[in-house]
Structure 1
Amino acid sequence: MSGAGNKKKRSEIGEQELGIGLTRLSHAGAGSGAVPGPGRPAPGGAPRAEPPPEATSERLARARHSRSRGGRREPRRGRPGGEARTALRRAGPLRGRGGAAGSAGPSAAMAGPRRSLAEVQRRVAAVHGRTALSDQLGSYDRWAADYEQDVSVLQYRAPRLAARALAAASPARPRDTLVLDAACGTGLVAQELQGLGFSRMHGVDGSRGMLEIARQKGLYQELKHCILGQEPLPLPTGQYDAVIIVGALSEGQVPCSVIPELLRVTKPGGFLCLTTRTNVTNLQYLAKLQGMLEDLEEQGLWAKVSTQEVEKWEKATSGQESTQNSDYISGVVYVYQKC
């Protein structure tokens, strides 16, 4: 078979394996972590009937309407390495609470009594309702000890979905991959990555309280305080094999302007995994985000590897947020490769 034929076949295999792993996740009961910022999973209830898959695609299409362009390059996809494929198979369907399967991190021991869904929804609304940056960061600092327990109530699935998407896209062995976890929060994404064989991880976040919880877990070799989108990353150019940002790219949180910085610290040929919500209250942000993603691709700075749309991203914190006929909001996972 010609070189082009081999490349096409490897691309098809990579897409099939990514689709199998993530599709299985999207039909599992409970997920991991939750809400913009850091995240986690939670025990699942009996959800209502899931809306048709066209719903998320329609929302994404509306967000892209003003940015529609042609002439895309063919993405360069990598087949997941043997270790990553083995870890994905062993991980199986989502289960239990977030983070490393079956483990309760330091924050679990410090957390207060478990809150009801209504109580968590009120707390999330209060945190996200703060407009002053200092107030918002202070809210996350105070929330840090209870964060993982609270977002588990919302059945937040993004950390596990994103970790698996990154593992499936990267052909390198997980243990050889240096990962930057941007907006790392209390370390939910690192817990998921560790379960897939990743062990070399650095983290940055704007909340010192969240960073302290993450530090206690001992999963990161390096943690730094940085207000993403407001100041340059305190990191060298081209240092990381992979960069992941989960739960932070949303309205009222980290601005899209952080993405060029994330791209800067990624090695050529490295991978970037990003997530955002696609529900109605985040559509304006989504349109800006997609515009930036497309502009960077047209400039030849990176190529899209995959897009995974997820209907049950997390429990909605209000009726206005929820997807039609569902108690959940939707989201999307993007993976790009730096050129």
Structure 2
Amino acid sequence: MSDNNQTPNSQEQQELAELRDKIDAIDTQIGDLISARASCAQNVAEIKKRYAGEAFPNFYRPEREAQVLHKAMARNKGPLHDEEYARLFREIMSACLALENPVKVAYLGPEGTYTQQAALKHFGHSAQAVSLSAIDEVFREVASGASHYGVVPVENSTEGVVTHTLDNFLSSSVKICGEVVLRIHHHFLVSDITRTEHISRVYSHAQSLSQCRKWLDAHFPQAERIAVSSNSEAARRLKGEWNAAAIAGEIAAELYDLKSYAQNIEDQPDNSTRFLIIGSEDVGPSGNDKTSLVVSTRNEPGALHDLLEPFHHHKIDLTRVETRPSPTGTWNYVFFIDFSGHVQDNVVQAALQDVAKNVSDLKILGSYPKGVL
């Protein structure tokens, strides 16, 4: 039979076969290049070890990873979105870094929470993620050197700042090494035994219940809303209850093999949480950075104006100012300030010198790359 007499189905199969052969050839090239990159990563590790002497070399460079991801997005020609394109590079870098030295990351647990999702988003799935039960424990784990880095929530777009995280910086020696902004999507989850027409209780963290109030009012107004310690705990409870549902994220659904009855049920579609990456080392400039500091002011009129005026004078963009009472009683107020720029920038150094003249104490929490993904 000639090509002109081929049936539509056989023509389709031929075109698909040609494309699949092309994909297979491309996959072979991608595989070879990934292997080559992994070999380069091993060579980097050998060189660092050779010149480190007795000190243990630093394999993970947050500023370098941020630069690689920015370059990747700049090269992206589609059709993948920039973030999806960069996420592929994140996983390649994560796997290559694991060949040099696996990164151990502590996060506020339990397993299946948004904080774990943020940790995986920032470090990739080849990192060794360790679940801890409290923010204080994450800080201590990093300060002691038991984990290289930690991930803790610092603010939510609808619920506000996580004060417990800020308060830990007052007494801890850890430094901020990075940030992750995670779009929070809540899903209404059910198990394989759930009878959806008879749901009488909904489990979730108190904040998640609050963030999905309108959807619950419209779809399950009679169901009892039960606050538990985490969304992961809410998901865990479903396996034994036929008349219950949970509000949690995708990672909890996968962990406990649950199904989404409804997705993205949050009242605010732009609901997001910012997480901080904490570590023990200073981070060099990446070219697109942010600096965080905490200062205490003197108890005198105009103290807040004098604190903020140098930033205005040097045209530095403040991204957040948060006030907290001093836990020691020595300071009347402490201010947590985030601004654009790196502490090594000349303009930032000039501004900080002026700020130091008007405050009783100043502590730089870290300069770090702005969140890429």
TM exceeds 0.5?
no
Q: Give the number of the structure whose alpha-carbon radius of gyration is greater.
A: 2
In terms of fraction of residues, the more strand-rich structure is 2
- Greater RCO (Cα-Cα under 8 Å, separation 6 or more): 1
Normalising by the residue count of structure 2, what TM-score does the alignment of the two structures yield?
0.26
